[in-house]
Structure 1
Amino acid sequence: MAQQNLVVCSKCGGVNRLPPARNATDAKCGKCANRLFSGHPEDVDAQVFDRQITRSNLPVVVDIWAPWCGPCKAMAPAYEAAAQELEPRVRLIKLNSDRQQVVAARLGIRSIPTTILFHGGQEVARVSGAMTAGQIVRWVRDHLPMVTA
């Protein structure tokens, strides 16, 4: 029997079980009824961030940003485009380093934007600086060869 995917809702933090045969793009959260994958990376709080990293069995890409950061704002449309290409095989979320200073400090964030890839609860890779959508997708696929088109 194939393993079910555990997908954490980026809106409420609810953990959802998705059978492999189910179309993940149509799936809704059992707790809040929002779509689990929308192609729009949610800006999460510390609790939802921790649940994404520790409870989901999907790879998670985190964009650490701040509202005053020009390169962060410039990268936002590219990050959203990357989410539209990578979801539902990979979860993309955003973390506002101004609002979530404790998490940013715990992650050792020294510059923004910083993008971190987690899988299996562990950091796999990180890169600082703005990227295009194509660069984000290639970076993820370079570190997770099982994520293909």
Structure 2
Amino acid sequence: MRQIVCPACSAANRIPDEKNPSSAGCGRCHEPLFAGRPFEVNRAQLNAHRASTRGAAVLVDVWAPWCGPCQAMAPQFAASAALLEPDVRLLKLDSDAEPQAASELGVRGIPTLILFQDGAVVGQRSGLMSSDQIVAWTRQALARVSARTAPESER
């Protein structure tokens, strides 16, 4: 069973394994849980996604409006959502609007991508990337985590 946080109201939603998560809606606000695009979040929303998302990863783009590389990567990150959902929730955190959150995440330069699995950081990378690079990096990081956590008989 997956647990996905609604990007509209931050409610945690359980999705049975037999249900297609791509078509799931929020039990509280009835908005779609996935829209094929990243969602802007503040610190509290990011913390809700980190704490409550299970069975899917959370990929956060930490950026700033004045940052040229961030602006160049924005459409690439958006294109990645269509390729990574519903296995990965894509979020955007404005480091100017949420400096404390960026500091807590250890961000030293932007754009920075931070990948979470079950609330823990499993990957972090800074710098401009294409959609293909974002998708490949994300899948590789998740594969490494999966290989480390697989039972010995599956390795």
Identify the TM-score tier after normalising by the shorter chain: over 0.9
- Counterpart CA distance in 2 for 1:49 and 1:98 is 15
Structure 2 residue aligned with 1:139: 137
TM superposition shift of 1:11 = 2.0
Structure 2 residue aligned with 1:38: 35
TM superposition shift of 1:7 = 0.2
Q: SS at 1:39's partner residue?
A: coil
Identical residues among aligned pairs (%): 45
If the length of structure 1 is used for normalisation, what is the TM-score? 0.92
TM superposition shift of 1:109 = 1.1
- Counterpart CA distance in 2 for 1:81 and 1:28 is 22
Structure 1 residue aligned with 2:63: 65
Alignment of 1:41-120 (within 5 A): 41-57=38-54, 58-120=56-118
- Counterpart CA distance in 1 for 2:38 and 2:109 is 20
- Counterpart CA distance in 1 for 2:83 and 2:116 is 18
TM superposition shift of 1:101 = 1.1
If the length of structure 2 is used for normalisation, what is the TM-score? 0.89
TM superposition shift of 1:49 = 0.2
- Counterpart CA distance in 2 for 1:98 and 1:69 is 10
Letter in 2 for 1:91: R
Q: SS at 2:50's partner residue?
A: helix
Structure 1 residue aligned with 2:150: none
Q: CA RMSD in A?
A: 1.0
Structure 2 residue aligned with 1:18: 15
- Counterpart CA distance in 2 for 1:32 and 1:71 is 35
Q: Which has the larger radius of gyration?
A: 2
Letter in 1 for 2:78: E
- Whether the aligned pair in 2 keeps the contact of 1:11 and 1:44 (CA below 8 Å) is no
Q: Which has the higher helix share?
A: 2
Letter in 2 for 1:123: V
- Counterpart CA distance in 1 for 2:112 and 2:52 is 22
How many residues matched?
143
> Which of 3, 6, 16 is matched with 2:3 structurally?
6
Mind listing any 5+ residue stretches in structure 1 that lack a counterpart? Answer: none
